[in-house]
Chains A and B, each alone.
Chain A
Amino acid sequence: MDASDGLSRLEYHVLLAMAEGPRYGYAIREAVEVESGGALVPRAGTLYRVIARMITAGLVVEARAPSDAEPHPGRPRRYYALSADGRTLLAEEARRMIDAGALARRRLGEA
């Protein structure tokens, strides 16, 4: 994946989920579901394929658990966070969407 490729909807929401700080798998999933208005409900395999792709592309890095993380029984959770590139790409993508949205509004005459 190249930063110029543009992001799929799921990729965008996964990055967005990490924008507030490091998140672990299930928390990302939940955030994606809520923030996409229930349109995206990634199952485990699909979600981790996206995360893997982002890590390979250098957009996401594995992060230390935040200090206020709730303790988890069993094996410790793995947290993922945005890299500097990831943050830039997400911001670019958001900008692009805002522009595209504004254009659509003008065309549709909604002022």
Chain B
Amino acid sequence: MFVLLRWLVLMLPRGFRGEFGDEILEEVREECRRAEGRGRFAVLRVQWASVVDLAWCAATERWSPSWSDDMSRSSGGGEGMMEWMRDLRLAGRTLRSSPGFAATVIVTLALAIGVNAAIFTVADEVLVDPLRVPDADRLVHLGSSAPGSDLPEEFNSAGEFYVEYSKLDDLFESVATYNWFTATFRTQDRTERVPMSSPSVSLFETLGVEAALGRLPTLEDEGTTAVLSHQAFVDWFGADESVIGRSYQMMGQSRVVVGVMAPGFSFPRDDIVVWAPGEEITAERVRPGRFGLNLAARLRPDVPIEALAPRLNAVARRIPEQYGVSGGYASMLTDQFRAVVRPLADEVFGSVTGPLRILMAAVAIVLLIACANVTNLFLVRAERRRLDYAIRSAIGAGRAALARAQFAEVVLAAVVAGVLAVGIAGTALPALVSMAPAGLPGLAEAKIGLGTVTFTFVLTLVVAALCGAGPTVRTASVQARNAGLAARGGARSTHWGRNGLVVVQTAMAVVLLVGSGLLMRSFQQLRAVDPGYDVEDVFTFQIAVEDEPGMEDGPDFARFHLDFMDRLRALPGVETVGIVENVPLNEGVRSMRFAPADMVDEDAGTQLGQTFAAGDYFEAMGIEVLRGRVFAETDHLENPGYALLSERAAELLFPGQDPIGQRFRWVNEDRVETVVGVVEDVRQSSFREEAEPLVYLPMVGQTPDAWALSSPAYVVKSERARDLAPEIRALAREVAPSAPMYRTFTMEGLAGDSMVALSFALLVIGVASTLALVLGTVGLYGVLSYVVAERAGEIGVRMALGAEAARVRRMVVGRGLRVVVLGVVIGAVAAASASRALGSLLYGVDAIDTPTFLGVITVLLLVGALASYLPARRASSIDPVQTLRAG
């Protein structure tokens, strides 16, 4: 790093450098010494900041000099600038005179910088502060786990935890519950299902946000108030402030709007329309053991996140006594409960920000490879032009002048590339945004602006510094040697330098290729998964009728839907129609505890998912009915206590028995169901997750009021799945004019969405690794070509002495492969540890997947052999007589 700094100092105008150059280096050294106490990262930061600062000073000091004394006045001031302009003009001429070289360098850099600028633009909006609230680093998610129990690996929290955690004043400034769901929002002239949140009142304090207009809900409101998002304030109410104080229907209740949040605030998703806190959870109101609550907390300033878990575990152990719980739940709390604590931003956005970080790393690697390549090209060129430099230095050009001339070429190429890169980023960005996974906060705002341009400019400077350092130092050292004599013997050290660059390039290409190979295998595996249902030709939508007039009870609700299904079946092209409470890939299911009816122990039973289904749901989705029958229409109206089980649920409840006719009960509820059929397992949340055991109930649900809270999804099997929405909307307006229709998807679309994070990562890493492979190949080819050209004399002598052409070829290819093999080995080791970072993106494939590694290694060795073979063939066709004459 200090070489780079020293070299940047060399770039300062002579007068300024003479006076302050040593001082500057000394100061950077001193700063680094002091930073050492704060770790390696701190030192690195100081060094990089100094590099950027010095690069900036080297440029500005010339345009607007701060130093002038008698000695330097002649070369300082306006003339210093003139000198630079002269250098740049000369560089322009030189580059134009070898257009192939210039184009290769500029295109390489422009692509690499452009891709980085595009990803940066996305990341800048998304990563820097995804929560967009003050002091987000003190916000944590408080979850639960119970290793050794039959509960999921990790689950959220429950009311009693909220109450007890809130008492930990020495740890937390504030604790809050949060959630989101879709519910009906009704104004005089508009009714829609929209994303809403019903957090605790403390959410706003926890996040550290205020209302931009009006006030926030308070505990005294007792769940009668709500605040609007700024977006909704504009879209729904035309930014009319008189909305404050008015009441509207939301979630089936009337709420007074008391405030409007600031633009840009939304939590826990970027499209929440309204926050309507419910009644505060208190120790008296809590029913212990009902998990399903998300908890967030703001730490006190000096509390480290590691300090939390032991304290929270201790809280859990006291809960059984405090809340009078016993049995299985109590022993889980005392023996198995482990609190899960992580930064809130990771919890809410981790699934999207994690992959984005990986992509940033991938394109950064491409940039490094590009820099290595360009450095190599310039080095080779500098070697070729050694005679030119020697002559110029002989007629009086100083070391610095020569170095500057060389550097000017790099700078010019980098700047041209930088300008092109902004264009490339501008072209790539819309494509990138359109392919990115949904739910990235602020993604819509990502556009090429000052931020991108600044980033590109800084990146260009860094690239110029990285690519320019080697060749420039090399050029500057030419003077030290006798150019004529140095032409052959002094080349060894640069060979090693260049070989080293090829090794690094190859290694980085291996890392990227392994990454994209693993993602590609995951993609294949996921495509091959049988989710238990078909996604072709199925249209799904929901319609909210629970607030319609005439909806009084479960049977009313069921009658409406049975009738509406009949109307849908009459539409042209519709094959079958069914209803399900939670459509796969779009919604998860609730989970409850069930036990065989003859098992009386209160803590017995298994955790099973629970949903309802009606009509020809199973047929429409292609879910096989394995045993028994599905529900009849009368089952939905009368609710005779029939249920269907998925295959896994049947195995869990009645292992080794015929489940048909068996009875099972809801643990802690007064209800018993009789099994009438068994159906195929389905992957509910995503193709990645194993099928959950499921209990299907008739449409009216488990309690007399359950229907009012449910929002069933229709599934319509039709070859016209993509075009049905408008017809169905018209049909819905006929029977329920004010009922909003929402969540309209094709199952194919949902399946695509569920793969989008992986497809996006695959695309970016795929592009990155292809670039890496191409650049790496070009680099190897360049180095070997140069070696062959340089050793033409030696090869000529060998051939004159009778060496066979084949042997010469083997020698050159062998030399190339040695470098490649070293790179591949280093790369494979690096990839083995780097591929773990892909973690959650991988599916059905190990991070260290032998076929992928072997495949990548083979590809690179082949490419390496090919890149070496072309120069080798040239070497073996050398005419000995000609080279000897020339030598």
Contacts and interface: CB of A to CB of B under 8 A. Distances in A.
Name the interface size band of chain A: 20 to 34
Contacts of A25: 23-24, 26-27
Interface centre among B27, B60, B61 (most CB of A within 10 A): B27
B49 A56 contact: no
Interface residues of B, number: 26
Interface centre among B12, B16, B28, B30 (most CB of A within 10 A): B30
Interface in B530-552: none
A56 B71 CA distance: 13
B66 A45 contact: no
A75 B66 CA distance: 25
B50 A52 contact: no
Contact of B22 (A29, A46, A50, A75): A75
Contacts of B58: 45
A38 B712 CA distance: 57
Interface in B68-123: 68-69
A29 B19 CA distance: 18
B27 A52 contact: no
Given A52-B67, A53-B66, A45 B56 contact: yes
Q: Describe A's contact surface by its main secondary structure.
A: helix
A56 B24 CA distance: 18
Contacts of A45: 12, 24, 50, 53-54, 56-58
A44 interface: yes
A44 B67 contact: no
A43 interface: yes
A53 B60 CA distance: 13
B291 interface: no
Contact of B19 (A26, A47, A52, A74): A52
Given A44-B27, A47-B27, A78-B23, A52 B53 contact: no
B135 interface: no
Contacts of B54: 43-45
B31 interface: yes
A26 B31 CA distance: 8
Interface string A42-85: 01111111111101100000000000000000110110000000
Interface in A3-45: 25-26, 29, 43-45
Interface in B37-72: 49-50, 53-54, 56-58, 60-61, 66-69
Interface centre among A26, A46, A48, A55 (most CB of B within 10 A): A48
B237 interface: no
A88 to B, nearest CB: 21
A78 B26 CA distance: 11
Interface string B407-442: 000000000000000000000000000000000000
Contact of B23 (A46, A48, A74): A48
Q: Describe B's contact surface by its main secondary structure.
A: helix
B329 interface: no
Contacts of A26: 27, 30-31
Interface centre among A25, A44, A50 (most CB of B within 10 A): A44
A44 B31 contact: yes
B61 A49 contact: yes
B120 to A, nearest CB: 22
Contact of B66 (A29, A50, A78): A50
A78 B20 CA distance: 10
Interface string B446-462: 00000000000000000
Contacts of A50: 66
B66 A46 contact: no
Given A53-B66, A75-B26, A43 B16 contact: no
A107 to B, nearest CB: 27
A79 B13 CA distance: 22
B31 A52 contact: no
Nearest to B25: A44
A50 B49 CA distance: 18
Contacts of A78: 23
Contacts of B24: 25, 44-45, 48
B50 A44 contact: yes
Contacts of A48: 16, 20, 23-24, 27
A29 B27 CA distance: 9
A4 B27 CA distance: 31
A78 B23 CA distance: 8
Contact of B16 (A29, A52, A74): A52
Contact of A52 (B26, B49, B66): B66
A36 B775 CA distance: 47
Contacts of B20: 48, 51-52
A50 B58 CA distance: 14
Given A56-B66, A75-B26, 5 more contacts: A26-B31, A44-B54, A46-B53, A48-B20, A75-B22
Interface of A: 25-26, 29, 43-53, 55-56, 74-75, 77-78
22 contacts: A25-B24, A26-B30, A29-B31, A43-B50, A43-B54, A44-B23, A44-B25, A45-B56, A45-B57, A45-B58, A46-B56, A46-B57, A48-B16, A48-B24, A48-B27, A49-B16, A49-B66, A49-B67, A51-B20, A52-B66, A52-B67, A75-B22
Q: Which 7 A-B pairs have the closest CB atoms?
A: A45-B57, A43-B53, A53-B66, A52-B67, A44-B27, A48-B20, A52-B66
